[in-house]
A and B are shown apart, each in its own frame.
Chain A
Amino acid sequence: MTNRERRNLRNGLLFISPWLAGFAAFTAYPLGASLYYSLCDYSVLKPPVFVGGANYQELLLDPVFWKSLSNTLYFAVFFLPLATVLAIALALLLNTGVRGMTVYRTVFFLPSLTPLVALGILWMWMLNGEYGVVNYVLNLVLNPLGFQAPIWLQSTAWSKPAIVLMSLWGVGYAVVIYLAGLQDIPRQLYEAAELDGARWFAKLRHITLPLLSPAIFFNVVMGLIGALQVFALPYVLTDGTGGPARSTLFYAMHLYNAAFRYLRMGYACAMAWLLFLIILALTLLVYRVSRKRVHYAG
């Protein structure tokens, strides 16, 4: 090693040393400890007691665990496609060159700034069964047809759709990403396609969507990871209970309750590791499915 190389190594390590310390203390050690705790009976008040695979075994037999998992997948399955279609549609509309694009963009973006706690409380009020403004408007339309608006958060059937709806309100962040992606598509491509007589749909299918695919991939993966860990919104809406009848008990909430309400920290760690595996598996699946379709330009 030359003098210069040695000096660079020393300087490099010196510069990243804050991260090295942080990595050891806040990531590497907790990862190892968490894996070990997942094999232990652990309440944080007393030292952990090794119990082997008992936590995992109990998890797989626990109907509440399965309920929380299916609730979470339900949310992801409905929220992700709806959010993707809505965000792309809005971005396409904004990218048509209408006047006031930046104003519209701001309007659609604003709700995504709302802190989740405020967002939850606001929607609790809007969806209130008695005085909620949403049902007032819905019933104006539904009552003459002989229908009644649902009671949303009080109903086991409608509580999850309500949370999907609230989350869709925050779609503006993705709209901004898609809009940036759309504006990077060279205009010549559309002009060439038009010379060949391509209509709107053909241009969308053969130019816009393929060139937008990296942004779509990014948003879907980030959305998936976020959807599987949805926590703050249902926690606020139900004060952590996941009611009614566990219909909004999501995976991360069940995990939090196990750890901090019932002090079953080992059990919670086992849940966390399963979550990690589920996230990795689903991300890999999205990657596999999209690999041939995602088009990276340049």
Chain B
Amino acid sequence: MRDSRTSAFDHASRRTDRPGSHANRLSRTHALAIHAVLLAGSILFLFPLVWMLSTALKPLDQTMLMPPRWVPDPVQWENFREAVHYIPFFTYARNTLTIALLATLGTVISSSIVAYGFSRIEWKGRDPVFLVLLATMMVPFPVTMVPLYAVFRNLHWIGTFRPLWVPAWFGASAFNVFLLRQFFLTIPRDFDDAARMDGCSEFGIYRRVVLPLSRPALAVVALFHFMYCWNDFLGPLIYLIDQDTFTLALGLQFFQSRQGGTPWNLLMAASTLVVAPVIVLFFFTQRTFIQGITMSGLKG
């Protein structure tokens, strides 16, 4: 287990600059055929995003032309200015960021502390308890949804952000604990012993030895949890009541359903504004992203 975790990481980081397995044996016609298929596929996969942007930049009457107008003319950038008022974009963005940042911070801190307890300290009963943690990953959300709602209702938390971020501070994401534990197991024990000789406490070892060595894994956890919060729909749908507390995902759906037959150009502009930050984030963190997916995928 320990070795496979390191290798998953090494492979992920080596992957980008490693040539494919059959590179030199591909004949020219073969390579051309493969490019043709991949290009056709790329067009199909990219087109919806391009169409979203194209619609977002059109005057309303041009969205309803048949045959469609592929390139907007004139390019109506004002749609974006209008869209951020059409759905109160900045309010929703602030709500989403507040929840996502609080939850992400909580997840990184709590799941790393818990993962430390499950990997770097040997205590009686550790492994059975860890199995319980793994088993909680099997429980589908709908099973606990109603009692959780009842608990938060009794705490008078419904309509606030708290149900959406407080659980993250209690290691609620078992998968992240699992991921970090696997990573912590790959850090050599000698480091701890050396620190312990110098009089370092257990918490000091966690803080000064293990955490600094685990930055790549912590980055993966942070990134994925942030994305999860940004995209989450069911949580906000259940817990948020007032329009001005809505997140982007919930707010976008709310406005779409309100408007029925619609100013599609503004809806597409608003959707673009919800999608774009994720894509920008991806381009800045591509390596961490690919690493994270590989890490979660190779050891299920």
Residues of A within 8 A of B (CB): 1, 5, 8-9, 11-16, 18-19, 21-23, 25-27, 29-31, 33-34, 37, 42, 44, 90, 93-98, 101-102, 104, 106-111, 113-118, 120-126, 128, 130-131, 133, 136, 169, 172-173, 176-177, 180-185, 187, 190, 214-215, 217-219, 221-222, 225, 228-229, 231-232, 235-236, 239, 252, 255-256, 259-260, 265, 268-269, 271-273, 275-276, 279-280, 298
Contact check: which of A9, A182, A221, A271 meets B142 at CB < 8 Å?
A271
6 A-B pairs with CB atoms under 8 Å apart are A12-B121, A19-B171, A107-B45, A131-B63, A177-B294, A177-B298
A122 contacts across to B, CB distance below 8 A:
48, 51-52, 268, 271
- Find residues 175-206 in chain B having any chain A CB closer than 8 Å to their own CB: 177, 202, 206
Contact check: which of B49, B124, B139, B143 meets A110 at CB < 8 Å?
B49
Shortest Cβ distance from A32 into chain B, in angstroms?
8
Query: Nearest 10 A-B pairs (CB), nearest first?
Result: A22-B170, A15-B117, A97-B20, A97-B23, A12-B123, A177-B297, A19-B171, A218-B300, A30-B144, A33-B147
Contact B238 A260 (CB under 8 A): yes
Contact check: which of A31, A215, A272 meets B298 at CB < 8 Å?
A215
A217 contacts across to B, CB distance below 8 A:
300
Shortest Cβ distance from B109 into chain A, in angstroms?
9
CA distance A37 to B110 in the complex (A): 31
Contact check: which of B21, B140, B147 meets A97 at CB < 8 Å?
B21
Closest A residue by C-beta to B30: A96
Query: Do A104 and B170 contact each other (CB < 8 Å), given the known contacts A12-B121, A16-B129?
Result: no
* Mask of B54-66 contacts with A, CB within 8 angstroms, 1/0: 0100000001111
Contact check: which of B138, B145, B177 meets A280 at CB < 8 Å?
B138
- Find residues 240-279 in chain B having any chain A CB closer than 8 Å to their own CB: 248-250, 252-253, 256-257, 264, 267-268, 271, 274-275, 278-279
Contact B275 A34 (CB under 8 A): no
CA distance A30 to B149 in the complex (A): 9
Closest A residue by C-beta to B43: A107
Residues of B within 8 A of A (CB): 4, 11-12, 15-16, 18-24, 26, 30-31, 34-35, 37-38, 41-42, 45-46, 48-49, 51-52, 55, 63-68, 110, 113-114, 116-118, 121-124, 126, 129, 132-133, 136, 138-151, 153, 167, 169-172, 177, 202, 206, 227, 230-231, 233-234, 237-238, 248-250, 252-253, 256-257, 264, 267-268, 271, 274-275, 278-279, 282, 286, 290, 293-294, 297-298, 300
CA distance A34 to B275 in the complex (A): 36
Contact B256 A136 (CB under 8 A): no
Majority-rule SS of A interface residues: helix
Apart from A19-B133, A27-B139, A31-B139: 5 A-B pairs, beta carbons within 8 A:
A15-B117, A96-B20, A97-B21, A176-B293, A280-B138
Contact check: which of B123, B143, B252, B256 meets A272 at CB < 8 Å?
B143
Contact check: which of A30, A90, A279 meets B148 at CB < 8 Å?
A30
Contact B123 A9 (CB under 8 A): yes
Query: Do A30 and B275 contact each other (CB < 8 Å), given the known contacts A94-B38, A272-B145?
Result: no
Contact A275 B143 (CB under 8 A): yes
Shortest Cβ distance from A218 into chain B, in angstroms?
4
Contact check: which of A9, A113, A176 meets B294 at CB < 8 Å?
A176
CA distance A147 to B65 in the complex (A): 22
Shortest Cβ distance from B72 into chain A, in angstroms?
13
Contact A259 B146 (CB under 8 A): yes
Shortest Cβ distance from A267 into chain B, in angstroms?
10
Contact B114 A15 (CB under 8 A): yes
Contact A34 B294 (CB under 8 A): no
CA distance A160 to B38 in the complex (A): 27
Interface centre among A5, A8, A18, A44 (most CB of B within 10 A): A18
Shortest Cβ distance from A84 into chain B, in angstroms?
14
Contact B19 A26 (CB under 8 A): no
Contact B293 A37 (CB under 8 A): no
